[in-house]
Every structure is written in C-alpha cells, then in structure tokens.
Structure 1
Amino acid sequence: MGQSISAPAERLSAHVNGINLSFLSQGEGPLVIFMHGFPDLAISWRHQMKAVAEAGYRAVAPDMRGYGDTDAPDDPALYSQFHIAGDITGLMDHLGEETAVLVGHDMGANVDWAMATFVPERVRGVVVLSIPHKPRGAQPPVASSPPRFYQRLFQELGVEEADLASKVDTFIPGIFDRLSGSSELGAPPALIVPEGQHFSDLFQPPKAAPAWMGQEEIDTYVETFKRTGFRGALNWYRNIDNNWHTAAPWAPGHVQVPAAFIIGTVDVAWALFKDNGVIDSQVHRVPNLWDVRVLEGVGHWIAQERPDDVNDLLLTFLAKLDS
C-alpha cells in the first residue's frame, strides 16, 4: 500500500443489529476495524487510525455497544459476544465489505478472538493488544474467580455503575494513570477490591493527566461518561460466564486466521496471564501467530502509551497480509 495523506477522522453512524452504532472513519482502502475495551472510547485509537489511513487503508473505530455515542441497551443479556460480533459484522455489511482486519484491546481483544473463532470467513486477520488467546477453562471464569475480584463485583446490577457515575471526575484520570506504566504511584494495583470498598477506590487520581494522554482527552472521557453512565460498559462483564457457556460448541476455540499480539510488562494482563503460561502457550492455539511483542515498562493503555510501537506492529502485519 502506498502512503498518502488522509483527511481527519469523520464521525458517522449506522443502524446495525438493532442499535445505532457511532463510529470514526478515516482513510480509504481495505477495511481495518478497531475495537476498544473498558473504560475506553473510539478516540483511544486516534494514533493508529491516522497511521493506518496514511498507509492506504480505511480505519474505522466504533464506540462499542454501551459506550459513547452508540446505543446502550439496559438489558445485560444484550451484550453477549454474539451481539457484539453481530454489531461488527453488521458494520462491515453497512460499509460494503465482506471482510476486515480486526484490532482489539482489553474487552475488544476478546471480540477479536471470538470473531476469529466463530466467523473466520469475515476476518482477514487479528491484531490483539493486552489480552492473549486463552484456553477454555473447565469452569465459568467469573464464578470461579476470587470473591472480591473486580469482575465478580460487576455482576450485581446497579451497585458499581452507581459508584463509578458518582466519581467520574476522579475515576477516569485515576484508572488511566494507575494502569499505565508511568504512574508516580508505582506498579498497578491488584484487581482484588478490599472488603467494604468499590472498584473505584483502587484508582486515586493523579496530580496531572498522564503525559501520553493529555488533559483534553481526559476531559473528553469524563464528559462522555458523565452523559452515558457505566451501565452499558459493565454489562459486557455480566456476559463473561454466559459467553463461556455459549462458546462450548467451538471448544477448544483454536484461531486459524493470521494474528499478532502485543503487551507491556506493566500491564495488569501481564500479571494475570504470564506466570500461568497463557501468554507463552497461545502459539499452540493460534498456529498463525505471526508476531508477538513484549514492551518493557508499558502498562495497559499500550496503544496510547506507546503508539509508535503499536503502529509498527500493525503496519508490519498489514504489509505481510497484503504481500
């Protein structure tokens, strides 16, 4: 693909899979879809979208179901991995594309792996940030987790979203700082919430916005979540065990499409999945894992903390895919 100067990202919308999906679009060419996690928005991919568009691709980043300007149904049952996959395939159809390269981070990374398993004919390849391909365990993952693990707390309707909504001004800068690789408070906290506390209590706000994000971006996140609340975002977590059950026909869930993976050594996901061997063993479940990169000292927000490294991985992968 030849390099070209692309116009800035444009905000568009589409009615797909029963919801109105808002998305950013930049550039023209083969489709690359970027999928964010919690508590992120489409703008988290701003660095990657520009690079991909200038390389001759169409970069599209939705506010995922439940986030930002996209619809957020109240019913948790409407956030299964099949609903999310339907949103993305519906977006492809809306854009007139049969296939796309999928790029995902955090909960969006799980969408990468799921779609590559369930509808590989729609997926040219996947680039995955932070969350490795995991084997299907013997038990539902949330139900078998420690009692005060944050995902267990998210299961109770109304409690954690109300707390987060009351603390948006401190929670948003706090989580972006504390889960990064540059927090003055040191290593990220374990994601076990002490008795009598809320998830938000793990994330005290920094004195200033992280240098890799900036106050303007923080303000955008704060203003958005003040408007939308967190119900839709937490509904994703309320489907984790249901997703485990409904994925049974595809077990063990090997991914055959080309893939690339990148993670930082200060990422909370590194702590969760390195010592138990999940990161190293994913090569056995993803035989076409073309590239694996580990960035020293980088935290969870890898696409924003180290955009040049992520862009290099992404553009190298796309060039190989199209060679």
Structure 2
Amino acid sequence: MLPTEPTSAVPAASVVSGSAERLVAQVNGITMSYLSQGTGPLVVFMHGFPDLAISWRRQMKAVADAGYRAIAPDMRGYGGTDAPEDADSYSQFHLAGDITGLMDHLGASSAVLVGHDMGATLGWTIATLVPARVRGVVIASVPHKPRGAGAPVESSPQRFYQRLFQDVGIEEHDLDEKVDTFLPGIFDRLSGSSEFGAPPSLMVPEGGHFSDLFTPPSAAPEWMGAEDLGTYVNTFRRTGFRGALNWYRNIDRNWHTAAPWAPGHVSVPASFVVGTADVTYALFHANGVIDSQRDRVPLLRESRILDGVGHWTAQESPDEVNDVILTFLAHLDS
C-alpha cells in the first residue's frame, strides 16, 4: 500500500538506505540536495524523468565499494533540489552549471558522469561543452545523437508527448492531480516486465493527456517495490511536476544554442547501455543511431544491449549496469 501523507522537505543531512548520506549544497544559484557514498575519485549520477537520486542507490553502493565517491543529486526541479518556476531557468547551460558547480563544491576538477534518460542527454552535453571537466561518461538508454537539421520538438509529430509538455500549466496540472496512478503506471508500462506487455506509443490521442498512456498496475513493479514507489509518490505530491517538465521546454532552445559546438562530437571515453524493451531502443536502433555512435564518440569503449530490459535500465538490471560502470572505471584507471 502506498503512503497517504506527503513527506516533509529533505533535511540538510541524513542517512538513507545503503549508508549513503543526504546532503545539500549551494550551487549555481540554487540549493541542491544530493546523496553521497564512499571516498575517492568522483562519479556523479544524473537521473531523468520522472526519477530521483534514489534510482541510483544500487550503483552508488557498487561504485563506493570499488573505491570511488558516488554522488547522486536530485536534479534541478526534482525532489529536495530547488525548482525554479521559470522554464528559462532549465537550459542546458543551467543544468550543466549545476553539475560543474556541484563538482566545484566537492573540490573536484573533473568527474566520471553517469546519466539516464534526460540525465543521459545532459551527460553527453557536458562532455561536449566542457570536456576538461569530464573524465568519461557512462550513458544508459539515450544514445549520442547527431544534431538534426531542425529543432527536435518543432520537427516532431503533432501528438508526440514532448509537444504537449510545451504548454505551461496543462500537463503538470494533470500529472499533479494523478500522481498516485501516473507514477506506478509509467514505471510499470515502460519497464521490460509490465503486466500489460509492450510499452505504449508516446503519441497522445487527440484531447488526451500524457498520463492517459500509462494504466496503473495491480502492484508496484517487482524491481522497484512498494516502499520505493511510495517514496516517489510522496515526493512528487510535495514538489509537483512543473520543474521536471521545464526540462522539456528547453529542448528546442538547447538545439539552437548548441550550434557553436556542432556537430557535437564527444572526445572523452564513454560506454553505453540500453535494454531491448526500452522505448528508446526501438527508436534509435531502427534508425541506426545506436550502431553509428562511434562515428560521433570515437572513444566509445562499449555498447551493451540488455535483452528484455526496459527503460529503467539501472533499476531493472542493476547487476548488469554495475558491471558496465565498474568495467569502464577499471579501464579508465588502469
């Protein structure tokens, strides 16, 4: 059963499961809440939508046990981190500045970045914009994509979900109203073990909402569990979805402002992992983007494909993802 009362704001310091510590830092004009575990060279984990720092808990422990300091922030707009109302505060430069600012706060000149979903896109971006701050990247779900000829959202089909997110107030209001059913639904439906089978199309029917695509399951996904799902639900009850959707409201803006770095090749070492049941795999495998990554990422060490794993790569298949990360770190530091 899911908790029925929202949690309070994240405290300044606390111990969470697996001996990770919850801390806060003032970075890039915001207060950022983050998890910290272990000591040694820095590895920063960046989550996507609609996720939180806790999604990386199994990877953080493995990395800390291997002799590294694992850091996982609630990204701007999420959880215990500030969520500015203005969508203009979520450009790629703001988001990259949050991570480099956190590195500065921790006294690290560079770090290995691990990213998933929108955090994956940010990982590729930071490696392109400021490669001197990035020892390497391990990316889950979203491959490095060539810069297209036009702004991505503007070029997308009319009912593609990201188009709906552009209208401020509409979709976040719907998600805020349906948080108890939307979160169980999206975690189940985009996994590789959904009780409803293959994931839905990301095209929203006329007159519908993004939430309509995600029928809630009869129970929490086995790979997540009711307790962790309850943490997500309570957190988003408190924060709402405005900050999370503001990331999507900068996709086309980011395309325009990235022009000076075109074609956007990544010069640092990298590894990539994706599941065959991930909605991103269906898209980017079919058009050859995954197989052609080495053209844009010449130091790509590995591109591992996980059979039957859905969108929540690190949570659905923690042992495989840990192996990808630890193998990458071992090669980087050998």
- The aligned counterpart of 1:205 is 216
- 2:150 matched to 1:176? no
Q: Which residue of 2 aligns with 1:105?
A: 116
Please list, as runs of the form range in 1=range in 2, the aligned pairs for 1:289-308 lying within 5 A after superposition. Answer: 289-308=300-319
Q: What SS is found at the alignment partner of 1:278? A: coil
- Which residue, 244, 248, 256 being the options, matches 1:233? 244
2:6 matched residue in structure 1 = none
Give 1:56's aligned amino acid: G
Query: What is the TM-score with the length of structure 2 in the denominator?
Result: 0.95
Separation in structure 2 between the aligned mates of residue 159 and residue 115 of structure 1, nearest angstrom? 30
Name the structure 1 match of 2:146.
135
Paired residues, number: 318
Residue pairs, 1:23-62, within 5 angstroms = 23-62=34-73
- Rounded Cα–Cα distance in structure 2 between residues aligned with 1:184 and 1:13: 38
Aligned-partner SS, 2:292: helix
| Alignment pair present for 1:271 and 2:307 | no
Q: For the Cα contact (< 8 Å) 2:88–2:250, is it kept in 1? A: yes
CA RMSD of aligned residues (A): 0.8
8 A contact 1:7–1:27 mirrored in 2:
no
Residue identity matched to 1:320: H
Distance in 2 between residues matched to 1:292 and 1:113, nearest whole Å: 15
* 1:269-302: CA deviation from partner (whole Å, max 9, x where unpaired): 0112111111111110000000110001000001
**Percent identity of equivalent pairs:** 75
1:141 & 1:24 partners in 2: Cα distance?
33
C-alpha separation between the residues in 1 aligned to 2:137 and 2:129? 13
Q: Take 2:212 and 2:64, find their aligned partners in 1: how far apart are those partners?
A: 39
Superposition deviation, residue 249 in structure 1: 0.3
Q: Deviations over 1:134-170 (max 9, x none)?
A: 0000000000100000000000000000000000000
The residue identity in structure 2 corresponding to 1:134 is K
Between the aligned partners of 1:220 and 1:202, the Cα distance in structure 2 is 22
8 Å contact from structure 2 (residues 18, 57) kept in 1: no
1:65 to 59, 63, 76: 76
Q: CA deviation at 1:186?
A: 0.5
Q: Does structure 1 retain, via aligned residues, the 8 Å contact 2:141–2:273?
A: yes
Structure 1: 5+ residue runs without aligned partners?
1-5
CA distance in 2 between counterparts of 1:120 and 1:317 reads 17
| Alignment partner, residue 3 of structure 1 | none
What code does the residue aligned with 1:154 have?
F
Secondary structure at the residue paired with 2:271? strand
The residue type equivalent to 2:70 in the other structure is A
Q: Work out whether 1:220 is the aligned partner of 2:231.
A: yes
- CA–CA separation in structure 1 for the residues paired with 2:18 and 2:240: 31
How far has the Cα of 1:184 moved from its partner? 1.3
Q: What CA distance in whole angstroms lies between the structure 1 residues aligned with 2:183 and 2:287?
A: 30
Counterpart CA distance in 2 for 1:81 and 1:110 is: 10
TM-score for the superposition, normalised by structure 1: 0.98
Q: Tell me the SS of whatever aligns to 2:119.
A: helix
Gaps of 5+ in 2: 1-16
In 2, distance between residues paired with 1:253 and 1:282?
Answer: 12
Q: Which residue of 1 aligns with 2:265?
A: 254
CA distance in 1, matches of 2:177, 2:224: 23
The more displaced of 88-97 and 272-281 is 272-281
Give the distance between the partners of 2:182 and 2:22, measured in 1 at CA. 26
Give the superposition deviation at 1:196. 1.2
Q: For 2:286, what is the secondary structure of its paired residue?
A: coil
**Equivalence map 1:139-158=2 (5 Å):** 139-158=150-169
Counterpart CA distance in 1 for 2:138 and 2:253 is 25
Q: CA deviation at 1:131?
A: 0.2
Give the match's secondary structure for 2:132.
helix
Contact 2:39 2:64 in 1 (8 A): yes
Match of 1:313 in 2: 324
- SS in structure 2 opposite 1:279? coil
Distance 2:100 2:306 in 1: 31
